[in-house]
Structure 1
Amino acid sequence: MAHYIVKEEHPKKYSRIWKEQDIVELCATGATASLMEVEVLDIQSSIENSHLPDVVANMNKLRWIRLKDYETSTFSSSNFHPTNLGCLMMTQCKQKQLWKGHKHLPHLKILDLSEPEYGGCYLKWTPDFNSLPCLERLNISDCDDLKEIHPSIGYHESLVWVSLKGCDYLKAFPPIIRMKKLKTLVLASCDRLRKFPHIQTNMDSLECLDLNKSAIEVIPSTVGQFCTNLVTFNLNSCDKLRRIEGNFRLLKRLKCLDLFGCFSLEKLGGDFFDKEASLEVLNVSLRNQDSTLFQNLMNRIGLPSFQLHDQDNSINLKLSQLPRCITKLELSHCNLGDGDIPCYISELVTLQVLDLSYNKFSRLHSSLSQIPCLKLLNLSDCKN
């Protein structure tokens, strides 16, 4: 009822806009939107909106904008200065850049230009992050055309969460100079990103670093040096990763390390891990027999979960080196046949979950029945 009364009293010049249809009407007629107190603008369908920049230009109280399938740049207007804007979300939008030149948005905290379900965005360049001093969350995932990140991002002191996942043409992330509040950095599935960002400051807040399926070749020693509070480090399927420099001895809080699919990894130092570290989950795959690498991974205590995916028939050696306190063991896709599971597996007295799926054995060794704490045995797709 209130919506109806406002519309009747102020036709074509509403004090507030709640419905998408009202926006469409204003765009179609080119009606003035002066004195509007609109705080939320949500257009979720493809409409004729060539007048939208003029309509929106006077919505100075906007706090939240979401646009979908939009070709015209709302932000190109020199009159558009939504200084109260806190969240900007754009999906299926055709802009190659959000705006030209400098546009100061002092209260913007969320900039989301990604929605993989709809194919991501078309940006080629990001804005200057100096004009977004309060930005906390940046999501430009699955932006196939993105080639350049403005170097000011490395100096940003408010960013907490950054995702550039699936930006296929991105070749570099700017040096990290002052990103002291950053907790999560996602550079997964960046097919052309070969160099890890150059870190020049302590990143005490960083807890999650996701490089899954990226083209990173070397993890520099600065990770161990500056990211000492890292909890999750995902290098899954980084098939071009050759080296992890330095060691992780300073990563006392690291709980999950995923090295599955890192088939090019050459070696790890003997002091790679600190025995007092908090590592709980380790996922590793080894294509060729490399007992030195495996020993370095196992030369520690307290690892409760371990995943091994191996094709080199050296499973006996590797199981003999596992810590006896392990609670979860995944041996799927290890090409195991009859007799490949050693009898001393029963010595894993704390083991609760054992995954033997996708293997080739036709019978199980009696030692499995002697594991005292075993609760779950997965034999899925063991077709023999």
Structure 2
Amino acid sequence: MTGLVLKNVVEISLESCRCERLPPLGKLTSLKILKISSMDSLKYFNHESYGDGEDSFPALEILNFNVMPSLEKWTIVDREEIFPCLRNLHIEACPKLTEFPFLRTLEILTIWEGSNERLIRSVINVTSLSDLEILGSELKILPDKLFSNFKHLRFLNMSYSYIKTLPESISGLQHLQTLKLNYCEEICKLPKRLKHMRNLTCLDIKGCDSLTSMPANMGQLTCLQRLSIFIVGQDEGYQISELKELNLGGELSIKELENVRNSEDAKRANLKSKLDLISLNLCWSDSNKESIPKNVEEILENL
């Protein structure tokens, strides 16, 4: 398979193959994309796959492991260069795989549901990431130091996960632009120091039904352009006026509007200036109907 006839092959996809080991694909000097899926018997991705040269997978940029129930070990041998160009790694439904080797050029990492918790914890060793997706994780509490090495991270998606909270260390991601937590139904609060993530342009928290309040001083996130939900509070720093200076667009749902006391409060949201909004959902709490003010129409007119 790795003879001269395949020397110009750029992409290979292996699906539902019943073999227990891979041919030395690392010899393919032009290979840029490798996708391996539903190989139920494959246990190891190791030296047998790399070939016997000094350089292995010299051009590989994208590597996908999908639905590999037996894959348990990915080892790196002592060579000068292995995966020198790898920038995109996708791992999905590999329940026995507990770690992956240090990949110095990796920029985009995706770990989908059905993967081992230890694999997720090993992410801390990757320092070059710009994009990280951990989807459908059953981890309820993330390691405190999980994000401590991600100085270049710009995109983080942890949607459909069972996490209850995010570690406060996430607020140290000063270059983060997009944070997605869609349908994390058990998450009950966001980091207190979220206001310090000044480069954040998108905070997507649709379906986070256990979330009861926003972090204080959301209005300090002056780069924010997408905010799917804002929960109005009563105290300073949590009120609807936090929306005033935010140039929001897209979809916005404002909840617990019973905490807007009067028309002056409503005006401070400055919604009329947010011309890029395409969908606006205004919600009062069903459980607190007695506290809904009688001047609802006046408040609506001034929002």
Q: Same fold (TM over 0.5)?
A: yes
Displacement of 1:147 in angstroms is 4.2
**Higher RCO by CA contacts (8 Å cutoff, separation 6 or greater):** 2
Q: 2:61 aligns with which of 99, 104, 109?
A: 109
**Cα deviations by residue, 1:93-141 (Å, 9 ceiling, x for unpaired):** 3244343457543422111234xxxxx4435436246843421111123
**Cα deviations by residue, 1:284-330 (Å, 9 ceiling, x for unpaired):** 275xx8544852882651232352264x5727558555234223252
Q: From the superposition, tell whether residues 175 and 86 of structure 1 become closer, same or farther in structure 2 (CA, over 3 Å).
A: closer
TM-score by length of 2: 0.72
- Structure with greater Cα Rg: 1
Q: 1:228-377 residue pairs with structure 2 within 5 A?
A: 228-265=174-211, 268-271=214-217, 274-275=220-221, 277-284=222-229, 290-292=233-235, 294-295=238-239, 298=242, 301-305=245-249, 307-308=252-253, 310=255, 314=258, 316=260, 322-324=269-271, 325-327=273-275, 328=277, 329-331=279-281, 342-347=297-302
Alignment match, 2:83: 132
C-alpha contact (below 8 Å) 2:155/2:178 kept by paired residues: yes
C-alpha contact (below 8 Å) 2:218/2:243 kept by paired residues: no
Unaligned runs of 5+ in 2: 51-55
Which amino acid in structure 2 is aligned with residue 254 of structure 1?
L
Aligned-partner SS, 1:37? helix
Q: Structure 1 CA distance, aligned partners of 2:4 and 2:212? A: 63
Alignment match, 1:93: 39
Alignment match, 1:15: none
Alignment match, 1:150: 99
Q: 1:4-153 residue pairs with structure 2 within 5 A?
A: 36-39=4-7, 63-75=10-22, 81-84=26-29, 85-100=31-46, 103-104=49-50, 105-107=56-58, 108-114=60-66, 120-122=67-69, 124-125=71-72, 127-128=74-75, 131-141=82-92, 143=93, 145-150=94-99, 152=101
Q: Structure 2 CA distance, aligned partners of 1:140 and 1:178? A: 15
What fraction of aligned residue pairs are identical, expressed as a percent? 14
Displacement of 1:203 in angstroms is 2.0
Which amino acid in structure 2 is aligned with residue 259 of structure 1?
I
TM-score by length of 1: 0.59
The number of aligned residues is 276
